[in-house]
Amino acid sequence: MIKPLGVRFLMDKELLLEKAEKYVEAEENSFFRNQVESLIDQQDFTELNDRFFTELEFGTGGLRGVIGGGFNRMNPLVVRKATQGLASYIKKTVDSDDLSAVIAYDSRNFSDLFALEAALVFCANGIRTYLFTSLRPTPELSFAVRMLKATAGIVVTASHNPPEYNGYKVYWSDGAQVISPHDKGIIREVRAVADSVNYMSKEAALENGMLVMIDKEIDEPFISMVKNCALRPKLIKEKGKDLKVVYTPLNGTGAIPVKTALSEMGIEVKMVEEQSEPDGNFPTLEYPNPEEASAMRLALELGKKIEADLVMGTDPDADRLGIAAPDGDEFKLVTGNQLGALLADYVFSTRKELGIMPKKPALIKTIVTSELQRRIANEYGAECFDTLTGFKFIGDKIRQFEKIPDGPAYVIGGEESYGYLVNTEVRDKDAVSAALMTAEMVLYYRSVDKTLFEHLREIWLKHGYFQEILISKYFKGESGVHKIQSLMEKLRKDPPELFAGQNVLYIKDYLGSTTFYVQEKDTRKDIELPSSNVIQFILADCSIITARPSGTEPKIKFYASCCSEPGEPLEKAMHLVQKKTELINKELNDLIDKV
């Protein structure tokens, strides 16, 4: 009894009403319950179908969905059931009588409510829970898990999604987001949760010591850690007051920690007033994402007005950092790959100059992050390690390093999507520490009469000019899923031999952990990363093209990175690389359109 409705299916009306009434009976929060009761009264079956045709899936990273009443929405009932599954997994997996968790939340609507709901489920399951008294950034949650030696952690956030979304991410005892086998084990337990969920009141949880409220006892060590990331604290103390910095937290959690850390070091920050206060509606933003030029518009306008040296923005949970800097008479946005390269070069060169480079320095990046960072790392005698896409894999790699006697020492790492980590006390993207390091970097180059873009050009001249593009394609509905599958199957069975006139030399298939060497016609199982549905083409001119379907939505991403030879005149190199990326962009879109 189902029939198509656009890209969804309209369920039988009686079944929809049955599901909706079941939700109303179970949901104790009147705001969310009333939403569904109103839809039932109005017989709004289109909206009921959207809220009940499926259940919000607990994925490998946690929950994320549109806020509202219904099983396919983010609400207290869904949070309780998901947390019950997580609690069950923790109790079955961790052999300890002293289980604990830390929970933080960002500025999104209902984040404080969802955080408390999760905490009270944990408490009722015998897991002592440390809950922040107000909003805190994701990196501080990771820091707190490690500092308190907790079993797990949750941060309630939907990262940089539109305002109508919320969710939560799950962390393990090392402070990193969960990976295999924990992610799959948690999903199994969440799916097994029936209607019964353990829950207690806040009053009872506080009275019996199961719920512990935290704030400055974590804040102060966290800010101290951020400040200790500085490599040239004396320079900041002496000249930091002369640096003009504009910063926007995009109505998120970054305002207090970023401003506090920089001001205590001696750098005053000019805030974008319209975006300085926490606001889950993000009134001046379409997407609260510093990767988007539109999100940085107000900050750029203020930067031009006061002739700033640096403009910075962080997303709502302050794990991503976007920046802009003056270049001649105009401000230019810096891409995620470019800032990653600049930070790597600054950190390695400074450590070498100051004699504080570890014995076996290491940089960690994802497989879709610019190879320019590898060239920079190698220049300073550091080894570059690749991981799958996702910062949880970078966090896990750091953990692996720590288990190797006299092994690699993590120095810096990041991913192209504006995520960086310049310390080891946090095991996720940390925009707070990265903001301090970026400000120090700009201050240092200013002290030697150089702009950030002038130094970036020096890096390109030395290592080759790099340019990256990203193509994201959505395919709606069930047919869209099949289109993505067909496209990946075609790339595996009948791969292109050329891109932009360049021969494909190697094809890396991360699903089977194999590399096909085209000239030798030889396939070798030589990829040591976990299996993932990703295909990568390495061309004769060192260009790299990567195809990666999303694991959570009907979307496929194509990443392309092109470069010139080191030492080539920059204007000529930029022209040639631009032509390559334009050709690859056209060929990839043609490839997609044929599916």
Give the DSSP per-residue string, 136-192.
--HHHHHHHHHHTT-SEEEEE--TTS-TTEEEEEEEETTSSBP-TTHHHHHHHHHHH
Q: Which of 214, 246, 267 is the last residue of a domain?
A: 214
Residue 10, pLDDT score: 65
pLDDT over 70 (residue 8): no
Please indicate, yes or no, whether residues 277 and 182 belong to a single structural domain of this protein. no
Please indicate, yes or no, whether residues 383 and 244 belong to a single structural domain of this protein. yes
User: Which of 275, 190, 261, 185 has its CA nearest to residue 228?
Assistant: 261
Please indicate, yes or no, whether residues 207 and 224 belong to a single structural domain of this protein. no
Average pLDDT over residues 10-26: 91
Please indicate, yes or no, whether residues 377 and 516 belong to a single structural domain of this protein. no
pLDDT over 90 (residue 57): no
- Whether 41 is in a domain gets the answer no
Give 552's pLDDT tier (boundaries 50, 70, 90). low
Please indicate, yes or no, whether residues 255 and 315 belong to a single structural domain of this protein. yes
Give 551's pLDDT tier (boundaries 50, 70, 90). low
Number of domains in the chain: 3
Residue 494, pLDDT score: 94
Task: Return all residues near 174 (Cβ < 8 A) that are at least 6 apart.
Answer: 145, 146, 395, 396, 399, 427
Q: Which residue has the tokens 């309209």?
A: 10
Q: What is the distance between the alpha carbons of residues 577 and 566, in angstroms, rounded to a whole number?
A: 13
- Identify the DSSP state of 293: G
Please indicate, yes or no, whether residues 358 and 227 belong to a single structural domain of this protein. yes
Q: Please provide the average confidence, as pLDDT, over all residues in the chain.
A: 95
Please indicate, yes or no, whether residues 474 and 500 belong to a single structural domain of this protein. yes
- Whether 309 is in a domain gets the answer yes
Q: Which of 463, 498, 533 is the last residue of a domain?
A: 463
Domain extent, residue 307, equals 218-463
* CATH number of the domain that residue 520 is part of: 3.30.310.50
pLDDT digits (tens, 9 = 90+) for 130-154: 999 999 999 999 999 999 999 999 9
Give 7's pLDDT tier (boundaries 50, 70, 90). very low
Residue 4, pLDDT score: 34
pLDDT digits (tens, 9 = 90+) for 500-537: 999 999 999 999 999 999 999 999 999 999 999 999 99
- Whether 510 is in a domain gets the answer yes
Tell whether the torsion through CA atoms of 380, 386, 389 and 395 is positive or negative: negative
- Whether 13 is in a domain gets the answer no
pLDDT digits (tens, 9 = 90+) for 382-430: 999 999 999 999 999 999 999 999 999 999 999 999 999 999 999 999 9
- Whether 25 is in a domain gets the answer no
Tell whether the torsion through CA atoms of 203, 204, 205 and 208 is positive or negative: positive
- Whether 227 is in a domain gets the answer yes
Residue 3, pLDDT score: 33
Please indicate, yes or no, whether residues 489 and 428 belong to a single structural domain of this protein. no
pLDDT digits (tens, 9 = 90+) for 358-383: 999 999 999 999 999 999 999 999 99
pLDDT digits (tens, 9 = 90+) for 21-43: 999 999 999 999 999 999 999 99
In 3-state terms, what secondary structure has residue 430?
A: coil
- Whether 47 is in a domain gets the answer no
Q: Which of 415, 430, 463 is the last residue of a domain?
A: 463
Give 168's pLDDT tier (boundaries 50, 70, 90). very high
- Whether 11 is in a domain gets the answer no
Residue 60, pLDDT score: 81
Q: What is the distance between the alpha carbons of residues 50 and 10, in angstroms, rounded to a whole number?
A: 9
Q: Give the residue numbers marked as catalytic.
A: 159
pLDDT over 60 (residue 186): yes
* CATH number of the domain that residue 97 is part of: 3.40.120.10
Please indicate, yes or no, whether residues 289 and 430 belong to a single structural domain of this protein. yes
Give 12's pLDDT tier (boundaries 50, 70, 90). confident
Please indicate, yes or no, whether residues 246 and 104 belong to a single structural domain of this protein. no
Please indicate, yes or no, whether residues 433 and 473 belong to a single structural domain of this protein. no
Please indicate, yes or no, whether residues 326 and 435 belong to a single structural domain of this protein. yes
Residue 476, pLDDT score: 76
